[in-house]
């Protein structure tokens, strides 16, 4: 059966982790969740000479990934890394990874790219291994990773992935449009300030359709709108408690709706950064992973800045992107070899190489980012904003299918002008059911 992104997310939202776990024998009913993945003693294990890495080549990164693989194979004669494009998106990789689990170790990759909203369901499914023993066996220096990025994969006292294609949303703007509207050459400090600037940009005769483009809801609503909610003192959830209908959350989403109904803001159909690059809008919020694409596409000077602050907190920003996980269903020698390659893949030198080619964040604090910043000074915005990041709300990142439900709710509010309080109250009920059915039995 073929599922497109929307169809697969619907499938995931309906069946969730419960169906995935059923394929592996079902969740435990003893109150403690499924049995933990046994930790392996790798001290006597010889790493395999050949492994397979599944990726979706985030940020059009296949060329640089193959370059890194070639360097690894030269440094480790007799080893082989097979790069497989397992899908065009994180969702397609997840679909293929789920199917492969039914076939056992021979069908599984040894290293797999898992996005911020997919890795936790594989923890619940017990289909990825804890990285801690592999980190010890291969000598990975976790202290040298940017802690805001690596700690996103820690749960239940263990680390379940290493960071790879990590990003944050940042504010992009067209400097020429800003100048024509008489605005200072910077991102707005607060969303209240953007609400003042929006009508000025809209009336400035820039040729843009909208002063500001909210990012495409299917990909960004649950992620980037956390900034808006947090800035008002709200959140999608507080730990496991769903709080998306709180007065603070209602105020945050109402402000977004007001921006659209006022006429100076629109909602991207596919990609706000593409709209910006084409000159159709004056500003948008997009991933740092889109930086290279935006700069290549734009025929104007691009400005960038931190996400605007709210009245309660800010500037505050979520992290996102993808990490590298190792399946539990492959033999220890392949797990060990995969960890050794992941160590090389995320080395200080290679994280700069990957960042240079894509715009994703350099992962290591010891990485020499000087040449990177000299080539593209705007990258410093994303790196500096890491000090203002916050771990994502569990309802968005840990609840299977929640991202789709949040996007659907935001579409009703922003595109259909639905009642904010009513929609968010309905969303709370939906997310609570997902937790009770698909999450609570498996943690």
Give residue-wise pLDDT tens across range 112-164.
999 999 999 999 999 999 999 999 999 999 999 999 999 999 999 999 999 99
In a domain, 250, yes or no: yes
Q: What is the pLDDT of residue 30?
A: 31
Residues 17 and 141 grouped into a single domain: yes
- Return the DSSP state at 239: T
- Residue 25 clears pLDDT 50, i.e. is over it: no
Q: What is the pLDDT of residue 29?
A: 27
Q: What is the pLDDT of residue 34?
A: 66
User: pLDDT confidence of 103, banded at 50, 70, 90?
Assistant: confident
Residues 227 and 348 grouped into a single domain: no
Give the separation between CA 329 and CA 159, rounded to whole angstroms. 18
Residues 57 and 163 grouped into a single domain: yes
Tally of domains in the chain? 2
Q: What is the pLDDT of residue 314?
A: 79
In a domain, 214, yes or no: yes
Contacts 24+ apart (CB under 8 A), 189-193: 189/308, 189/309, 189/315, 190/231, 190/308, 190/309, 190/310, 190/311, 190/314, 191/228, 191/231, 191/255, 191/308, 191/309, 191/310, 192/311, 193/308
By DSSP bridging, strand 389-390 and strand 317-318 are parallel
- Residue 18 clears pLDDT 80, i.e. is over it: no
Quote the pTM value. Answer: 0.88
Cis peptide leading into residue 121 (ω within 30°): no
- Residue 213 clears pLDDT 70, i.e. is over it: yes
The answer to whether residues 168 and 338 touch, using CB atoms and an 8 Å cutoff, is no
Q: What is the pLDDT of residue 286?
A: 94
* CATH code: domain of residue 351: 3.40.190.10
Residues 81 and 133 grouped into a single domain: yes
Q: What is the pLDDT of residue 37?
A: 76
Residues 188 and 136 grouped into a single domain: no
Contacts of 366 (CB under 8 A, 6+ apart): 144, 348
- Residue 17 clears pLDDT 70, i.e. is over it: no
Residues 289 and 234 grouped into a single domain: yes
In a domain, 374, yes or no: no
Q: What is the pLDDT of residue 52?
A: 98
By DSSP bridging, strand 317-318 and strand 162-167 are unpaired
Side-chain half-sphere of 375: how many Cα atoms within 13 Å?
A: 14
In a domain, 35, yes or no: no
* Structural domain range at position 84: 5-25+45-167+320-367
Residues 152 and 288 grouped into a single domain: no
Residues 305 and 209 grouped into a single domain: yes
Distance from CA of residue 295 to its chain's centroid? Answer: 21
User: pLDDT confidence of 10, banded at 50, 70, 90?
Assistant: very low
Give the separation between CA 323 and CA 197, rounded to whole angstroms. 37
State the CB neighbour count (10 A cutoff) for residue 404.
24
The answer to whether residues 392 and 319 touch, using CB atoms and an 8 Å cutoff, is yes
Residues 125 and 178 grouped into a single domain: no
């Amino acid at each position: 059966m073929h599922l497109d992104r929307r169809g697969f997310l619907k499938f995931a939202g309906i069946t969730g982790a419960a169906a995935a776990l059923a394929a592996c024998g079902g969740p435990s009913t003893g109150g403690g969740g499924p049995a933990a993945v046994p930790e392996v003693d790798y001290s006597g294990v010889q790493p395999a000479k050949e492994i397979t890495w599944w990726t979706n080549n985030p940020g059009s990164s296949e060329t640089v990934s193959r370059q890194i693989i070639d360097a690894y194979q030269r440094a480790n004669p007799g080893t082989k890394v097979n790069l497989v494009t397992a899908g065009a998106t994180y969702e397609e990789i997840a679909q293929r990874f789920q199917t492969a689990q039914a076939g056992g170790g021979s069908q599984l990759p040894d290293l797999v790219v898992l996005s911020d909203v997919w890795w936790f369901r594989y923890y619940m499914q017990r289909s990825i291994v804890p990285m801690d023993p592999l980190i010890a066996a291969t000598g990975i220096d976790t202290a040298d990773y940017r802690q805001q990025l690596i700690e996103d994969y820690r749960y239940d006292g263990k680390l379940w992935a290493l960071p790879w294609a990590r990003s944050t949303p940042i504010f992009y703007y067209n400097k020429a449009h800003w100048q024509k509207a008489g605005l200072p050459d910077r991102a707005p400090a607060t969303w209240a300030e953007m609400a003042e600037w929006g009508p000025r940009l809209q009336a400035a005769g820039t040729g843009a359709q909208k002063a500001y483009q909210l990012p495409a809801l299917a990909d960004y609503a649950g992620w980037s709108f956390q900034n808006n909610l947090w800035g008002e003192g709200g959140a999608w959830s507080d730990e496991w408690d769903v709080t998306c209908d709180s007065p603070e959350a209602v105020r945050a989403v109402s402000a977004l709706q007001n921006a659209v109904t006022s006429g100076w803001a629109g909602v991207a159909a596919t990609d706000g950064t593409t709209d910006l690059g084409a000159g159709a809008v004056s500003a948008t919020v997009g991933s740092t992973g889109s930086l290279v694409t935006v700069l290549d596409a734009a025929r104007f000077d691009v400005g960038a800045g931190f996400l605007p602050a709210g009245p309660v907190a800010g500037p505050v920003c979520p992290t996102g992107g993808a990490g590298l996980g190792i399946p539990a269903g492959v033999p220890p020698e392949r797990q060990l070899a995969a960890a050794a390659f992941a160590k090389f893949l995320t080395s200080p030198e290679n994280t700069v190489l990957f960042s240079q080619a894509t715009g994703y964040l350099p992962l290591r604090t010891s990485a020499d980012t000087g040449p990177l910043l000299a080539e593209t000074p705007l990258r410093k915005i994303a790196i500096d904003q890491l000090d203002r990041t916050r771990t994502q709300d569990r309802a968005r990142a840990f609840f299977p299918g929640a991202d789709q439900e949040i996007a659907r709710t935001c579409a009703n509010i922003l595109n259909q002008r639905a009642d904010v309080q009513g929609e968010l109250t309905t969303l709370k009920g939906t997310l609570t059911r997902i937790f009770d059915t698909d999450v609570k039995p498996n943690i």
